[in-house]
Amino acid sequence: MNTLIKLFISFLQVGLFSVGGGYAAIPLIQNQIVNVWHLMSMEEFADLITIAEMTPGPISINSATFVGMRLMGIPGALLCTFGCILMPFVICLTLAYFYYKYRNFSGVQTVLGCLRPAVVSLISCAGLSILTLAIFRDGAVNFSLSNLKWVEIGLFAVCLFLLRKFKLGAIKIILGSGVVGTLIYLLIPGLA
Amino acid sequence: MKNKNRKPLNGTMLWQLFATMFSLSSCTFGGGFVIVSLMKKKVVEERQWLEEDEMLDITAIAQSSPGPIPVNASVILGYRLQGIVGSLVAVGGTILPPMILLSLIAVFYDWFRQNDVVNTALTVMRAGVAAVICDVVINLAKNVLGTKKPLYIALMVITFILGYFLDVSAMYIILGCLATGILCVVFDQWKKRRNNG
């Protein structure tokens, strides 16, 4: 079978079955690309995951583009990404239609009211895991002095202060922290 | 039934929608909830397109349907603001930055892996991302506490313990709260019927 068709079918399945966001997609992609179709070796796949995690954007979109590009160039990248979002797009559009049709019913309001606190917790869990990665050298919660990254702790505190006090925009904060942090590490080499 | 809040197709709005999703998607690292909290900050606080509750509902729907959460959330956000055209535009904005970037990285892979400045920038930016999420969480948690409903506050505490300390997957947490919500509706109906009867 043509590699382009194999890639499309693979990522169609990745899109359809990866319920629960980013990390849920990784084993699915591995199964399709490495085990079923033998399009990549396990080493290449490990590299793929590293890159997909450290670059911006959803992990499954990143992986789809990377795999497609490495194997079949631009047509591959486009087809993989398209395959990956086709089913989620259709399903979400349907759900959005029903949500806006029925959301003012009191029963639906009660159910949604119970979901909202859970979403707040889930967002805070995601925030805490990023914070852990950002400020601890070994990426685990461990408050020994040598394990703390002081530059990042300082950046975090300053950013949070700017956000709470001056309501600065999210993009400015993130790009600003990247520029300032990189400059600090470059100018004071001993820190790293 | 048409959504009464939705405005007719509007070029400026479509462009803003695209630009917002494009810039969010270029600056977010890691999992789906990261981009959703940035989206909340941008769309609810900065642009004021949605109410906070609506954004939380969108997040719950995006989480419980298959596919990447940011893509799902932009489909719903786009649909809410500009119908199906809005969905297409929002998804386009969300997937273009990673597509362009990853295509380039796939081509210049070896150089990218060995570049210290790129690696440092990607690592330190996490501190900024964490601060933004923290800011969003403070606002959201304040509002849940502000409802003064013991059920909601208890749900928030319990789901946090389940998610953070016990590593229960987001999918089960959402399903559990969905079940709790349905039980509440059934209970309300039962109480109403008993009072009337």
Residues A137 and A120 reside in one and the same domain: yes
- Among A19, A171, A184, pick the best mutation site for testing chain B contact (most B Cβ within 10 A): A171
How far apart, in Å, are the Cα atoms of B76 and each of A141, A164, B187? 36, 28, 30
Residues A161 and A87 reside in one and the same domain: no
- Out of B74, B90, B125, pick the residue that ends a domain: B125
- Out of A36, A70, A102, pick the residue that ends a domain: A102
CB-based contacts of A87, cutoff 8 Å, min separation 6: A12, A15, A16, B66, B67
Residues B160 and B71 reside in one and the same domain: no
Does some domain include residue B140? no
Q: Residue B29: beta bridge partners?
A: A56
Residues A76 and A120 reside in one and the same domain: no
Does some domain include residue B111? yes
- Out of B92, B125, B158, pick the residue that ends a domain: B125
Residues A90 and A127 reside in one and the same domain: no
Q: Tell me whether residues B61 and A99 touch, CB distance under 8 A.
A: yes
Q: Min CA distance, B114 vs chain A (Å)?
A: 12
Among A122, A5, A120, residue whose Cα is nearest residue B143: A120
Q: Min CA distance, B93 vs chain A (Å)?
A: 11
The domain in which residue A51 lies consists of: 3-102
Residues A7 and A92 reside in one and the same domain: yes
Q: Tell me whether residues A156 and B70 touch, CB distance under 8 A.
A: no
Give residue A24's pLDDT.
63
**What is this structure's pTM?**
0.74
How far, in Å, CA of A12 to CA of B12, rounded?
33
Whether pLDDT at A53 is above 80: no
Residues B120 and B41 reside in one and the same domain: yes
Between B57 and A144, name the one with better pLDDT: B57
Does some domain include residue B65? yes
Give the pLDDT confidence of B129-169 residue by residue, as tens digits.
Answer: 888 888 888 988 988 898 888 999 999 999 999 988 998 87
Residues B117 and B153 reside in one and the same domain: no
How many beta-carbon pairs under 8 angstroms link A with B?
376
Residues A35-55 have a mean pLDDT of 76
Look at chain A and report how many structural domains it folds into.
Answer: 2
Residues A30 and A62 reside in one and the same domain: yes
Give residue B122's pLDDT.
75
Distance in angstroms between the alpha carbons of the first and the last residue of chain B? 34
CB contacts under 8 A, B 3-62 vs A, are 3, 23-38, 41-42, 45-46, 53, 56-62
- Out of A67, A102, A137, pick the residue that ends a domain: A102
Q: Tell me whether residues A163 and B26 touch, CB distance under 8 A.
A: no
Give the pLDDT confidence of B71-87 residue by residue, as tens digits.
Answer: 999 999 999 999 999 99
Does some domain include residue B88? yes
Residues A36 and A126 reside in one and the same domain: no
Q: DSSP letter at B163?
A: I
Residues A124 and A168 reside in one and the same domain: yes
How far, in Å, CA of B197 to CA of B193, rounded?
6
Whether pLDDT at B121 is above 60: yes
Helix H or strand E encompassing B184: helix B170-196
Residues A157 and A74 reside in one and the same domain: no
Q: Min CA distance, B15 vs chain A (Å)?
A: 18
Give the pLDDT confidence of A112-124 residue by residue, as tens digits.
Answer: 788 888 888 888 8
Between A159 and B69, name the one with better pLDDT: A159
Give residue B108's pLDDT.
83
B115 interfacial to chain A (CB closer than 8 Å): no
Whether the CB-CB separation of A153 and A136 falls below 8 Å is answered with no
Q: Tell me whether residues A18 and B59 touch, CB distance under 8 A.
A: no
Does some domain include residue B15? yes
Residues A9 and A97 reside in one and the same domain: yes
Choose the most confident range, by mean pLDDT, from A133-137, A144-148, B135-139, B151-155.
B151-155
Give the pLDDT confidence of B85-111 residue by residue, as tens digits.
Answer: 999 999 999 999 989 988 888 888 777
Whether pLDDT at A11 is above 70: yes
Chain B residues within an 8 Å CB radius of A160: 131, 134-135
Residues B58 and B108 reside in one and the same domain: yes
Q: Tell me whether residues B126 and A134 touch, CB distance under 8 A.
A: yes
Does some domain include residue B18? yes
- Out of A102, A122, A141, pick the residue that ends a domain: A102
- Among B51, B117, B129, B136, pick the best mutation site for testing chain A contact (most A Cβ within 10 A): B129
Share of chain A above pLDDT 70, in %: 94
B152 interfacial to chain A (CB closer than 8 Å): yes
Look at chain B and report how many structural domains it folds into.
Answer: 2
Give residue B1's pLDDT.
39
Between B3 and A129, name the one with better pLDDT: A129
Whether pLDDT at B2 is above 50: no
Between A54 and A65, name the one with better pLDDT: A65
Average pLDDT, chain A: 83
Residues B121 and B187 reside in one and the same domain: no
Whether pLDDT at B192 is above 70: yes
Please, which pLDDT band fits residue B64 given cuts at 50, 70 and 90? confident
Between B109 and A1, name the one with better pLDDT: B109
Whether pLDDT at A80 is above 90: yes
Does some domain include residue B193? yes
Q: Min CA distance, B14 vs chain A (Å)?
A: 17
Q: Min CA distance, B124 vs chain A (Å)?
A: 6
Distance in angstroms between the alpha carbons of the first and the last residue of chain A? 49
Residues B121 and B156 reside in one and the same domain: no
Does some domain include residue B60? yes
The domain in which residue B117 lies consists of: 1-125
